Structures are given as C-alpha cells and as structure tokens.
Structure 1
Amino acid sequence: MQYVRPVTAAAQGAPPPGTAADREAGRPRALPGQDPYMQWLLTLSVVTGGILTVRPVGLDGRGLAVAVLLVLNSAALLARHLPEHMVPPRFALLWLGSGVVAAVALLGVSRTGTGYLFAFFLCGHIGYRLETRAALTLAGACSLLCGAVLFLRLGPGSAPVPWALGLATGAPVLIGIINRGQNRSVRAVIEAAESAERAARAEARTAVLTERGRIARDVHDVLAHSLAAINMQLELVDALIETGDLEKVREANDTAHGLVKESLKQAQWTVHALREDALPLRETLSAMVESSGHRDALTVTGTVRTVPAQVTQNLLRIAQEALTNAARHAPGGEVEVELAFAASSTTLRIRNRPATRPVNAGAGSGMGLIGMRERVALLGGTVTAGPVTEGPHQGGWQVEAVIPG
C-alpha cells in the first residue's frame, strides 16, 4: 500500500479517520499520511496566534471590526475539518470565498499580528477541497486582493507588511492540489484492494460451496446406493422365507453380507476422496467391478498412465453410480466396463444388458445422473447416459464419461 508523506497544514483538511460504519455509509475516511490530531493542533495554533497578536481588538470602532473579522476567519479555518460528505460543493465554494474576503479584510483592518496566516492556510485548503480550476481562480483572487491591499496601503495596518507577502498568500493552493491528487490515488488503491478482498472472499465461499457439493455427492454415492442395494436383498430374503426355499434365502443373505462389506469399502474410498488421497484407477476400478459380481468385466485399452487424483476419484464415483443403477434396474443383466486411455483424454464406458430377473428398483432420488454431470463438468469433460439402440447390447443401457487431459 502506498503512503502519502505528510505536508503542511495549509494543504491538509481531510476528515478524521472513519469507522467501519462510515465506510459502509459511503463516507470518506482519513488516508495514510493524514493525522487529524496534528491538523487540529495546527489550526488551533493559527487561531490562537491570531487572537494573541492581531491588534487592535476592542468593543468599538476599528477594534470591534478586527474582533469580528477574527471570529469570521477562525470559523472559516475551523470549518476545513468538516468531512467532505457533509459539505456540498456549492456551499464549500461560498464558504471558502467568504473566508477569502474575511482574510483580505482582516489584513487591511489590523495594525499588527499574524492575520495573514489565515489567508495562507485557507488557500491551502481551497486547493484540497475544490476542483483545480475553481481552486486556482479563488486562490489567485486572494493573492491579488491581499497584494492590492498592502501595495495600495488601503488599510491602517498595511505599512508594516510588505505587499509581496500578500501576493504569496495564494501559493499554498498548489500544495493542496497536489495533496488532493495523492489522496485520490491512495483512495483508489485502497478501494481496489478492498474490492479484491471482497472478490477473494466470494471466491473462497464459492470454493466452500463446491466442496460441500462434492461431499454431498460422495455421501449420496455411499449411503443411497449401498443402503438401497442392501434393502433390496433384505426384501428378497423376506419374500423367499415365505416360499420356504432356504437355499435361495441363504444366497440372498450372503449377497446382503457382501453388499455390507462392499459398503465398507466404499466408505473407505469416500474417506480417501475427502482426504485427496490418490487411488490407482485401474486396480481400484477392477476391484469395484468384481465386488459388484461381474468378473472379468473390465477391459482396459490404450497406454495405462497415472491420471490426476481428482480425475480418478470422479471416474470411480461415476462407475459406482453406473454399476449400482445396473444392479437396481437390470438385475441379472451382463455388465461390461471399458477404460480407454487416449493421448488427450480418458474414457470410462459402462454398458449393461436388459434384466434377466424381476426388477424391483423402487423410486430413485434422481441425484445419481445429476452427480455424474456435476463431477464431469468440474473436470471439463462430457457424460452421456441413455439406452443402447443397436449392437450386441441393444435394449440395454450405457453410461460414457470422457475426461480431457
């Protein structure tokens, strides 16, 4: 972050530091290099110096005029500490113009003192508060008027003060203009940094939501699929008990036990996925296919290579979803799984033939295919799922996922 070097009080006048509520309300805050306490101290020093040195001060005649002009000059100088959002531009021009007139009048009416400091400091704030053209015009007018008062000796206090000092009263406007430009640049940098911070927070929130979605898909894959398959087998056991066919009861019971073991394996895979552990794609896929009851169903083509952990995890989940759907909607149907490694992509294809046993799939959650599409979309790939209309698997179902890279 860029910091602004402190400059003279004549060029300052920025509002004091704002709170978080000020920033939310759109009010400006103090920028680096602006110490509001120092600015107040300098302003009060000028006012105090004027009160102690400017003469004459009294309750009648010229003394009363000097006292009134001291009050007006002090008020105009103290007003520079008002926050910018509280002072409309037109009012600021009126206030600063009136302050210039009061400063010129004080310089002409007073006999001695440091009254000229009011004009110096006020011109510095004119450069900070007003736009460049208006600031230069008003400060130039202040210089000409002060110089004219002293040169022409229009007031009783003009003789001791050189007229060149009057012409110099507008010079601090340049410091104010420079400081205003620096402050605007710093404010732009701060706003850009805050905008970047907000964008980073939004990106982090998006990443959290994406991760939650991934975890939800993994939980669905483990719980919904496994419990649905186990429930099917238990329902089959209940139906077979009534028939008295103990052999088929034992077979269904053994299948249920096998599904429980498989569910434990799937839970382990989910834990690996959540921990971003790398699993061997071909070996893990082969074990998954065999545990689903389809031996020698996996075919691997192309040159086997190691793929990124995220690709492995998502392809395994897609395979798990497809195998579970095949068991649910096409029980007894033959299943073929193909894993193809190409130079620019990795393809997973799962086909199942029509069911050879009664189908009792029940109502699905509808999250399976949605989860597949989400997984593949995160990897920039494509997924298709639909019936096979030709070839040896005609009448069956096919899921194909293609991941680039």
Structure 2
Amino acid sequence: MPAEESVPSPGDDSGRGAGARPVPGHDPRVQWVVSLAVVVAGILTIRPMGFSGRGLAVALLFAVNSAALLARRLPEHRVSPRLALVWLTLGVVAAAALIGLSSSGTGYLFAFFIAGHIGYRLETRPALVLAGLCSLLCGAVLYLRLGPGHELLPWMLGVAAGAPVVIGIVNRSQRQAVRAAIEAAESAERAARAEARTAVLTERGRIARDVHDVLAHSLAGINMQLELADALIDTGDLEKVREAHSKAHGLVKESLKQAQWTVHALREDALPLRETLTAMLASSGHRDALTVTGTVREVPAQAVQHLLRIAQEALTNAARHAPGGAVAMELAFAPASTALRIRNRPATRRAAPGTGSGMGLIGMRERVALLGGTLAAGPVTEGPHQGDWQVEAVIPQ
C-alpha cells in the first residue's frame, strides 16, 4: 500500500509548510500510523536482530528499510526526481537483502510498501521498471534460496512484491486530477475577482462622469446668476437683482430635476430621448431649439443615457463660455447611426471669470467610446454656421 501525499493548493508553493491541502479521502495522519505500524511489526517479528554477526547486518538493513519507508512523507518539492529514484532504488535493494538475511518476520512488508510508493512518486515508465526490479530481486532471493528459512515462504511472494506499484500509479493519477481541479477552480475564482474589480472600476468611472455632469451643469449656472446679482447690488438696480435671484432659484429647482435624471440613469431606467432633450433646452432658456431629422426609432437605454449626459455637458459649456449665445440642437437618425449635434453662437455678454474642471470633453469622449462611436468638438469653420462652436456625437446603430 503506498502512502498518499498532500495535494498543494496553487498558492502555497506545492504544499510548503502546514497549509498543504490533502487529497480528499486520504488523511496524512493515517499514513504515518501505517508506516509506524510496519516498523513496529518489523521490530517485533524480524529475526535475528542483534549487535553482532548476522543479527547486526539484519538490524542495519532494518534501519535502512525503516528510513526508506518513513521518507515517503517527505514533500515532493524537497526531493528531486533523480534523488527520489536513487532513494527508492536503494530501498528496493535493502528490502530484498532484508528478506534474504532474515530468517523470519515481516520484512517483505517493506518491499510491498516501497513498491507502492514507487508508483506514486515516479513517472509511470521508471516506476514500472523499478517495480520489476523489486519483484526480480525479491523473487530471486527466495527462489535461489539465498537466505535461511526461505522455504517458509513461496518464491512467488517475492515476485508479487512489485505489484503494489499499480496502486501507487492509480493514487498518483488521482492526486494529479484533484490538483488540476483545484487549480482550475482557483484560476476561475481569480478570473472572477479580476472581472468583478474591472466592473467596479468601470461603474466608478461612470458614476464619476454622471456626478461631474450634474454638478457642473447646475452649479455653474447658479454661480453665474449669483455673481451677476452681486454685481447688480452695487448698481442699486433691485429689479435686475431680483431677476438674477429668481433665475438662480430656478436653476436650483432645475438641479433637483437633473439629480433625478442622474438617479434614473444610474438605475438604468429608460428616459425618453427627445422629450428629455427638449426639457433640458427649455430649462437652459433655449425653447424650440431641438430639430429631429430622419426616421425616429427607439434608442437603447445605455445610448440614451450617454447622449443625455453629452447634451447636458455641452449646454453647461455653452452657458459658461458663451453666455447669451443662441443654442441649437439636432438629433439625426440615420440608417446606421444616431447623431447628436449641439451648436452655440458666440457670447453676447461677458463670460464669468474662472475655468471649468477640464473633465467635460474627456467625459464626453469616454462616453462615446464606450458605445463605439465618435465625438468631434470645435469651432465650425465653414458653411452657414461658421463661427459657432459645435459638439457632435455619432453613435453606431
């Protein structure tokens, strides 16, 4: 019977230390008990055993066989295949010699257990060759009657000494199958963790873009009106102060509506694209500025979400950098794509000091890239809209 080894998990360096994972159904403690039982049985039954003559030779061979048997518990990473081959070959020779020199006892058990471990520790071909050598040596010792008392045991028992190698080979195959299953499971677990982490980072980026869009759109407009109110206070024109204050108050209400849009988007709720764009333009003071061309069709919820955020960012930039300029928006449905264009005329009044975060265009490009589309932003250099600033997002159908 061979001793079964511990199967290491992929992360513990082939069973290093106490954290090795045993093969299911094989307890290493049982293997220690069996090995020690063979040694104790040998001490009690193998004769002669003493401190001189043949008894000394038997005692020395018994010690060598015991060491070879107990060495089965050495971890594989500590014993190279070549060293294992040498150790097991010496163990086979020592077992055959013990059978030949002893007159009685259970010396043959060492040959059986070592042969079983040969099949477990070595590859199939060298294991079969060494097991054949074990059977040949043990059978020859008994058949040729090289040791006293050989007539008590049939020589066929020696030939069968190498048979347990088959059990060792089966156990090694089982160990390798279990190890492969464990490695596959842990590899799948690592891949799942990496995928989950990627999904979390992607979702964080998405939420960051949405939060930026809402804050930039709402706070920029509110700040602009409050700064205007501060400037008007010095002039004493209370009517215009009230007007600026009223607009700021309206923008606060609008920011609440935008927060609701963001919550809907984060929950993947589908918003009506045209109606929402119209509401955005109206809340920004640009009524009847939306033009729809092409055959209207339903747009996927994710594309709607990103198009609304792009429109929101473009309107924010227009209000910040071109205050007072007219804004026009076009939603174009083509057979293979959906395009959203936002154009604004140059400013008609002085823009408030300060710059944006610089993340607006980056966020818009990221959104379009997620959908496999393209985004262009810059001044219009020719045509009837020359001098306008235009943002165009094209999403493939």
Q: Which of the five TM-score ranges fits, normalised by the shorter chain?
A: over 0.9
> Which amino acid in the other structure matches residue 369 of structure 1?
L
Q: Counterpart of 2:187?
A: 195
> Which amino acid in the other structure matches residue 90 of structure 2?
S
- Going from structure 1 to structure 2, the CA distance change for 1:343 and 1:48 (only over 3 Å counts) comes to farther
Task: Give the deviation of 1:62 after TM superposition.
Answer: 2.3
Matches within 5 A, 1:160-309: 160-309=152-301
Q: Is the CA contact 2:9–2:15 (under 8 Å) kept in the aligned structure 1?
A: no
Supply the distance in 1 between the matched residues of 2:261 and 2:161 (Cα, whole angstroms): 80
Q: Is the CA contact 2:7–2:178 (under 8 Å) kept in the aligned structure 1?
A: no
Task: Give the deviation of 1:44 after TM superposition.
Answer: 2.5
Supply the distance in 1 between the matched residues of 2:130 and 2:103 (Cα, whole angstroms): 25
Question: Do structure 1's residue 30 and structure 2's residue 22 form an aligned pair?
Answer: yes
> Which amino acid in the other structure matches residue 395 of structure 1?
G
Query: Unaligned 5+ residue runs, structure 1?
Result: 1-8
Task: Give the deviation of 1:222 after TM superposition.
Answer: 1.4
Equivalent residues, number: 396
Instruction: Identify which of 14, 17, 21 aligns with 2:5.
Output: 14
Question: Do structure 1's residue 332 and structure 2's residue 324 form an aligned pair?
Answer: yes
1:80-115 Cα offsets, whole Å, 9 max, x none, are 011111222232222212211110111101112221
Structure 2 counterpart SS, 1:264 = helix
Q: Counterpart of 2:137?
A: 145
Structure 2 counterpart SS, 1:337 = strand
Task: Give the deviation of 1:55 after TM superposition.
Answer: 2.1
Identity of aligned residues (%): 76
Supply the distance in 2 between the matched residues of 1:157 and 1:196 (Cα, whole angstroms): 60
Task: Give the deviation of 1:39 after TM superposition.
Answer: 2.2
1:280-312 Cα offsets, whole Å, 9 max, x none, are 222111111111110001112233333232222
> Which amino acid in the other structure matches residue 267 of structure 1?
A
> Which amino acid in the other structure matches residue 295 of structure 2?
T
Supply the distance in 2 between the matched residues of 1:362 and 1:314 (Cα, whole angstroms): 27
- Going from structure 1 to structure 2, the CA distance change for 1:120 and 1:219 (only over 3 Å counts) comes to same
- Going from structure 1 to structure 2, the CA distance change for 1:358 and 1:401 (only over 3 Å counts) comes to same
Supply the distance in 1 between the matched residues of 2:331 and 2:222 (Cα, whole angstroms): 27
Q: Is the CA contact 1:15–1:84 (under 8 Å) kept in the aligned structure 2?
A: no
Q: Tell which deviates more after alignment, 102-111 or 296-305.
A: 296-305
> Which amino acid in the other structure matches residue 44 of structure 1?
L
Matches within 5 A, 1:370-385: 370-385=362-377
Query: Unaligned 5+ residue runs, structure 2?
Result: none
Matches within 5 A, 1:347-366: 347-360=339-352, 362-366=354-358
Q: CA RMSD in A?
A: 2.2
Q: Is the CA contact 1:353–1:394 (under 8 Å) kept in the aligned structure 2?
A: no
- Going from structure 1 to structure 2, the CA distance change for 1:23 and 1:307 (only over 3 Å counts) comes to farther
Task: Give the deviation of 1:182 after TM superposition.
Answer: 3.1
Structure 2 counterpart SS, 1:85 = helix
> Which amino acid in the other structure matches residue 96 of structure 1?
L
Q: Tell which deviates more after alignment, 89-98 or 17-26.
A: 17-26
Task: Give the deviation of 1:116 after TM superposition.
Answer: 1.0
Q: Is the CA contact 1:128–1:177 (under 8 Å) kept in the aligned structure 2?
A: yes
Q: Counterpart of 1:3?
A: none
1:321-380 Cα offsets, whole Å, 9 max, x none, are 001101111111111111223343322111112112222252111110111111122222
Q: Counterpart of 2:32?
A: 40
Supply the distance in 2 between the matched residues of 1:372 and 1:209 (Cα, whole angstroms): 18
TM-score by length of 2: 0.93
Supply the distance in 2 between the matched residues of 1:13 and 1:248 (Cα, whole angstroms): 90
Q: Counterpart of 1:89?
A: 81
Structure 1 counterpart SS, 2:338 = strand
- Going from structure 1 to structure 2, the CA distance change for 1:158 and 1:206 (only over 3 Å counts) comes to same
TM-score by length of 1: 0.91
Q: Tell which deviates more after alignment, 292-301 or 168-177.
A: 168-177
